[in-house]
Amino acid sequence: MPPPRPPHPTLDDTVRLARPPRNNRTRPILAAAAALLALIALAIGLWFARRPRPFPVAGETTIFRHVSPHFTVFRFRDDPLILVVDCPDLHAQGLMFDRVAALIEKADAPKNRVLSEAEFHARLAAAHLTIGNYYYGDDYPAHALREFFRLAAAEHLTLNPEETHLRAIARQAGFLRPGANGAIISIPQAGSSHRVSLRGRAVILRHELSHGAYFTIPAYHRYVHHFYNTVMTPQEQQAFQTFLVSQGYDPGYHGLIVNETLAYLIFTRDKRYFRASAVHLPDATITTLRQKFVAHMPDIWLKPLATAPLPTMH
């Protein structure tokens, strides 16, 4: 005998059957999952918010025309391995770079340790210099920056806020990684000294960009040394070395002398910053050396700057 047929379900019965049975244990699980997703979203948002913004990319003219009361870092358009730190004034620039300069370039400072603040100020006073006029522009390869921060850490030396900022810039650029290639150069804002007019700012930037190329382009580095060693006479080499030593550069660092010689000779054409009489050579000699250097330069972005007019505000 077949079983009795069940009665037809009512509409209410159908609705009830379509709903899954309630399980109160799923509520805490769903709430926990929602909270976890919210935490993940918050963490991702904070990561993006705290992630350093890429350095803006700019060419020589744009950097020259930039005006700001704050430190600004540019990645140089024609050579992304060069960072340009545009400093609010000479004093701020000095706070960031002067002790690096003492370690790497100055003849009267030790090369195996970083000067303390007290030692550095004592040397400034002895040389009748200030933080603001120790240098008018700076340039350092990545390996020199690594050495400065390594020694400072080994000595448990306290960095000032500007040096700490420099370390953060170098780290963000990847320059603190072993073997990394790159360079950081700096310029001050115009008006920060009677020597830093708009024209002076343009001269400093052009000079420092040439140093950047020396640090980042091996072919140009080799060419600079070849020209110095084979084209310039020993008398001409000595004339420039004497000039540079009078500026405080370390004569024991041959690469520094060569680099600065060609930066002044080729890329510092404003007579307020460099003239033939400064190295006791005839104008005709300087002109001839410039022509020979430019004629055989590697075909890199720097070559046009050897003869191009300086940037202006218009």
* Phi, psi dihedral angles at 72 (to 5 degrees): -135, 135
Q: How many domains does the chain have?
A: 1
The predicted-structure confidence for 24-57, as pLDDT tens digits, reads as follows: 666 777 777 777 877 776 755 564 445 678 999 9
Q: E strands of 225-304, at which residues?
A: none
Phi and psi torsions of 210, nearest 5°: -65, -35
The answer to which of 3-7, 105-109, 118-122 has the lowest mean pLDDT is 3-7
138-141: strand order across its sheet: 57-58, 72-76, 82-87, 183-188, 138-141
What is the sign, positive or negative, of the torsion defined by CA atoms of 254, 256, 258, 264?
A: negative
Closest CA to 266 of 291, 241, 235, 229: 291
Does residue 96 lie in a domain region? yes
Residues 6+ apart with CB under 8 A from 110: 103
What's the pLDDT score for residue 149? 98
Q: Rounded CA gap, 44 and 48, in Å?
A: 6
CB burial of residue 13 (10 Å; 0-12, 13-18, 19+): exposed
Domain assignment of residue 6, yes or no: no
* Structural Rg of the chain based on CA atoms: 31
Does any domain span residue 151? yes
Q: State the residue range of the domain holding 168.
A: 57-306
Q: Token pair of 246, please?
A: 């009078």
Mark 155-177 as b/e (b = at least 16 C-beta within 10 Å): eebebeebbebbbebbeebebbe
Question: What does the alpha-carbon distance between residue 250 and residue 108 come to, in Å, rounded to a whole number?
Answer: 8
Residue 311 lies in a domain: no
Q: Give the per-residue pLDDT at 23.
A: 58
Is residue 119 a part of any domain in this protein? yes
Determine, yes or no, domain membership for 209. yes
Specify the pLDDT at position 310: 98
Distance CA 278, CA 293 (A): 20
Segments in 51-197 forming alpha helices (H): 60-65, 90-104, 117-126, 142-154, 161-173
Contact 105, 172 (CB under 8 A): no
Predicted confidence (pLDDT) at residue 6 exceeds the cutoff of 70: no
Residue 280 lies in a domain: yes
pLDDT digits (tens, 9 = 90+) for 57-86: 999 999 999 999 999 999 999 999 999 999
Report yes or no on 137 lying in a domain: yes
pLDDT band at 97 (very low <50, low <70, confident <90, very high): very high
How far apart are the C-alpha atoms of 182 and 169, rounded to whole Å? 12
